[in-house]
A = this chain, B = another copy of it.
Amino acid sequence: MKHAVLIALGDELLSGIRREGNCSWLAGRLTRAGWRVDCMEILPDGKDSLPKYLENRVGTTDLLVLSGGLGPTHDDCTREALSSFLKVPLETADEAYDKVIARYPAEMRHLLEKCRDTQGTVPRGTRAVHNPEGSALGIAFEFSGTKVFAFPGVPSEYRAMAEQELASEISPLTNGTASVLVAGWPESLLKDRIAPVISRQELHISILPSPGLVEIFLRGNPADVVRGEDDIRLLVPGDCLPSGARSLEEAVIKGAAQRGLTSACAESCTGGLVGAALTTVPGSSAVFFGSAVCYSNSAKKSILSVSESTLNHFGAVSSQCAAEMAEGALRIFGTDLAVSVTGIAGPEGGSAGKPVGTVWFGIAGKGRTEAVKRLFHGDRDGIRNRASMFALLCLWRKVSEPEK
């Protein structure tokens, strides 16, 4: 197994203003390609700490990738740090920088020309890496058996350059790995259920939970992996996403498209999260018509036709209201299916009978309407996110249930 170390530079990361995402993204790609990431480190801007850090790290790992510090301002010190580490001067990489400038409109080129002496330079003897998304060059070299890359920290540039330079390293292993996504199971119960597969010596299995979804990642001999995946799908019937779907929303949209079903939502406490999730999927417009986010009771009445008496007798957080909301969405959007969410996300609004975290879901379509209640824990954001995942799960189960 090959080993990697990923480093991000930036005071904005250390001051908590921006959350690191480049290393995390590349780590995901490397892991799926069979690599092991030994550590990720976030270091400050400035050239003081980096050369010493590189002395300790270069030579101990197969791959070291730096993110950030390649722009034209005085904070950007990655190339100076690499030049000091390699004990060679910086030189203009004219050919590579010309290629970058050529991508820009004529009126911007004189501005970029001014930065040739900074973001157009690389340490002597290293390779300048083309930037297809921005203007700062990247840097690549090998030292003591470690391949070192430095890419700009702008996420689109970092990703494009990593895809371009590390294509063969990060293409997912297709032989000898498999990933099964299981919806609606807590990690601990799922572990018990698939214990017979986990215990197989010939398989290396990672359980990777995320809200509402658990990923089971298998590695091993290709035949063992295929058998392992098949057995997991047998042990958790109906709850494994189809292979190819990387999220619940993708499973909903693809499943609906396959079966020719259209869908819609009615949301209260999730405020639009369910619609936002479904519309992350490119092409969702073919099967997802919309979401009526009715936060106020008046909107529930006027838009979704929830009855006055339901709101008076049972309240907005009730099975009756959830059912009427789902039916209302089905009717106003004219879809085959609709899911609704109405609950108490807090911090205010809870009571003894309906504590914060109480959420009712309605699911309407195929001639039936059902309602189901869940009690979620956590803060306002946590409850809203869990409720949104559960609404997607309801919709996915309805989309994928066998036709009668």
**Residues of A that sit less than 8 Å from B by CB:** 11-21, 23-31, 36-44, 49, 156, 206, 208-210, 215, 264-265, 267, 269-276, 278-280, 282-285, 288-296, 298-299, 302-303, 332-334, 345-348, 378-382, 384
Report B-chain residues with C-beta under 8 Å of the C-beta of A282: 346-348, 380
| CB of A344 to closest CB in B, whole Å | 11
Report B-chain residues with C-beta under 8 Å of the C-beta of A13: 24, 27, 40
Report B-chain residues with C-beta under 8 Å of the C-beta of A39: 14, 41-44, 49
Report B-chain residues with C-beta under 8 Å of the C-beta of A209: 12
Residue of B whose beta carbon sits closest to that of A388: B276
Within 8 Å by CB of A270, from B21, B43, B156, B276, lies B276
Report B-chain residues with C-beta under 8 Å of the C-beta of A291: 271-272, 291, 293, 295
Given A14-B40, A20-B40, 9 new contacts (CB under 8 A): A14-B37, A17-B31, A38-B44, A270-B279, A272-B276, A279-B293, A280-B384, A290-B292, A296-B333
Pairwise interchain contact B41-A27, C-beta atoms closer than 8 A? no
Task: Please report the C-alpha to C-alpha distance between residue A13 and residue B346 in the assembled complex, in whole angstroms.
Answer: 29
| CB of A300 to closest CB in B, whole Å | 8
The answer to whether residues A206 and B15 also contact, given A272-B267, A276-B270, A290-B295 and a CB cut-off of 8 A, is yes
Report B-chain residues with C-beta under 8 Å of the C-beta of A24: 13, 16, 19-20
Pairwise interchain contact B272-A271, C-beta atoms closer than 8 A? yes
Pairwise interchain contact A208-B15, C-beta atoms closer than 8 A? yes
Residue of B whose beta carbon sits closest to that of A382: B156
Task: Please report the C-alpha to C-alpha distance between residue A332 and residue B270 in the assembled complex, in whole angstroms.
Answer: 20
Pairwise interchain contact B289-A296, C-beta atoms closer than 8 A? yes
| CB of A359 to closest CB in B, whole Å | 14
Task: Please report the C-alpha to C-alpha distance between residue A271 and residue B348 in the assembled complex, in whole angstroms.
Answer: 27
Q: Is the interface of A mostly helix, strand, loop or mixed?
A: mixed
Pairwise interchain contact A302-B332, C-beta atoms closer than 8 A? yes
Task: Please report the C-alpha to C-alpha distance between residue A293 and residue B284 in the assembled complex, in whole angstroms.
Answer: 13
Pairwise interchain contact B276-A285, C-beta atoms closer than 8 A? no
Task: Please report the C-alpha to C-alpha distance between residue A347 and residue B347 in the assembled complex, in whole angstroms.
Answer: 38
- 7 interchain residue pairs of minimum CB distance: A16-B28, A272-B272, A271-B279, A272-B275, A16-B27, A291-B293, A272-B276
Within 8 Å by CB of A16, from B26, B42, B273, B288, lies B26
Task: Please report the C-alpha to C-alpha distance between residue A88 and residue B284 in the assembled complex, in whole angstroms.
Answer: 58
Pairwise interchain contact B298-A334, C-beta atoms closer than 8 A? yes
Report B-chain residues with C-beta under 8 Å of the C-beta of A37: 14-16
| CB of A316 to closest CB in B, whole Å | 10
| CB of A85 to closest CB in B, whole Å | 18
Residue of B whose beta carbon sits closest to that of A273: B276
Within 8 Å by CB of A19, from B21, B380, B381, lies B21
Task: Please report the C-alpha to C-alpha distance between residue A122 and residue B367 in the assembled complex, in whole angstroms.
Answer: 58
Task: Please report the C-alpha to C-alpha distance between residue A271 and residue B267 in the assembled complex, in whole angstroms.
Answer: 12
Residue of B whose beta carbon sits closest to that of A331: B302
Residue of B whose beta carbon sits closest to that of A300: B290
Pairwise interchain contact A289-B279, C-beta atoms closer than 8 A? no
Task: Please report the C-alpha to C-alpha distance between residue A4 and residue B246 in the assembled complex, in whole angstroms.
Answer: 37
Task: Please report the C-alpha to C-alpha distance between residue A276 and residue B384 in the assembled complex, in whole angstroms.
Answer: 9
Pairwise interchain contact A38-B14, C-beta atoms closer than 8 A? yes
